[in-house]
């Protein structure tokens, strides 16, 4: 059975900058359109402030639970609570 394209997927993944681990996150992904992926992140462990990370970064890499990776830039968020939204180029599903 194939999930509807707008069905959210939830999992545990990691955020990296320049190959260096920053945080473990719980993510919720949904197809925003045919070409982009949108979602939300909640930091579980690690660096909470993605707007001013300890390693300068223009973009981040989100590694999903199944090992796939995508680049993203946080759109909105709260460093205190560690909750963010983002959008990214479409992943091959």
pLDDT tens profile 60-79: 999 999 998 888 888 899 99
pTM of the model: 0.80
Nearest-angstrom CA–CA distance, 77 and 44: 14
**CATH tag for 9-89 (out of 2.60.40, 2.40.10, 3.30.250, 1.20.120):** 2.40.10
Tokens of 92: 């091959």
Mean pLDDT of 29-50: 83
Neighbours of 13 (CB within 10 A): 23
Question: Between 29 and 33, whose confidence is greater?
Answer: 29
Q: What are the extents of the domains in the chain?
A: 9-89
Residue 32 has pLDDT above 90, yes or no: no
CA–CA–CA angle 6, 37, 48 (5° rounding): 115
Nearest-angstrom CA–CA distance, 53 and 77: 13
Instruction: Tell me the pLDDT of the chain averaged across its residues.
Output: 83
């Amino acid at each position: 059975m194939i999930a509807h394209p707008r069905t959210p997927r939830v999992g545990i993944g990691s955020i990296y900058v320049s190959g260096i681990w920053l945080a473990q996150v719980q993510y919720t992904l949904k197809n925003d359109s045919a070409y982009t992926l949108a979602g939300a992140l909640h930091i579980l462990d690690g660096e909470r402030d993605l707007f001013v990370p300890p390693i300068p970064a223009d973009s981040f890499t989100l590694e999903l639970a199944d090992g796939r990776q995508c680049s993203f830039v946080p759109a909105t968020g709260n460093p205190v609570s560690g909750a963010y939204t983002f959008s990214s180029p479409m992943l091959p599903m």
